[in-house]
Copies of this chain bind each other. A is one copy, B any other.
Amino acid sequence: MKAAFLARCRGIVGADQVLTDALDMAPFLTDWRGRFTGSALAVVRPATPEQVALVVRACAQWRVPLVPQGGKTGLVLGGVPDQSGRAIVLSLARMNRVRSLDPVNRTITLDAGCILEDVQEAAAAHGCLFPLSLAAEGSCTIGGNLSTNAGGTAVLRYGNTRDLCLGLEVVTPQGELWNGLRALRKDNTGYDLRDLFIGAEGTLGVITGAVLKLHPQPKASITALVALATPRHALALLTLMQDSCGASLTGFELMSDFCLRLVATHFPALPQPFVTRHAQYVLLELSSSESERHAVGLLERAIETALESDIADDALVATSIAQSRSLWQLREHISMAQAAAGKNIKHDVSLPISRIADFIARTDALLAQAYPGCRLVCFGHVGDGNLHYNVAPPEHTGDDDFLACQPGVNRIVHDSVHGFGGSISAEHGIGALKRDELVRYKSEVELNMMRAIKTALDPLGIMNPGKIL
A residues neighboring B (CB under 8 Å) = 102-107, 127, 148-149, 151, 155, 159-160, 162-163, 172, 176-180, 182-193, 195-196, 198-200, 204, 216-218, 235, 238-239, 242-248, 288-290, 298, 350-355, 381, 384-386, 421-430, 434, 438, 441-443, 445-446, 449-450, 452-457, 468-469
Contacts and interface: CB of A to CB of B under 8 A. Distances in A.
18 contacts: A102-B352, A102-B354, A103-B239, A104-B354, A105-B352, A105-B354, A105-B355, A182-B421, A184-B421, A186-B384, A187-B425, A188-B427, A191-B454, A191-B468, A218-B246, A245-B289, A248-B289, A456-B456
Contacts of A192: 149, 162, 192, 195-196, 198-200
State the copy count for this chain: 2
A426 B187 contact: yes
Nearest to A192: B195
Given A184-B350, A290-B298, A449-B457, 15 more contacts: A172-B449, A178-B445, A183-B421, A186-B384, A188-B199, A188-B423, A188-B426, A189-B434, A191-B453, A192-B198, A196-B453, A216-B246, A217-B243, A218-B246, A247-B248
Contact of A452 (B177, B244, B355, B457): B457
A449 B178 contact: yes
Contacts of A428: 188
The interface centre, meaning the residue of A159, A434, A445, A449 with most chain B CB atoms within 10 A of its CB, is A449
Contacts of A238: 104
Contacts of A452: 456-457
A124 to B, nearest CB: 14
Contact of A246 (B204, B289, B425): B289
Contact of A191 (B106, B151, B182, B199): B199
The interface centre, meaning the residue of A196, A246, A452, A469 with most chain B CB atoms within 10 A of its CB, is A246
A135 to B, nearest CB: 16
Contacts of A103: 239, 354
Contact of A243 (B162, B186, B216): B216
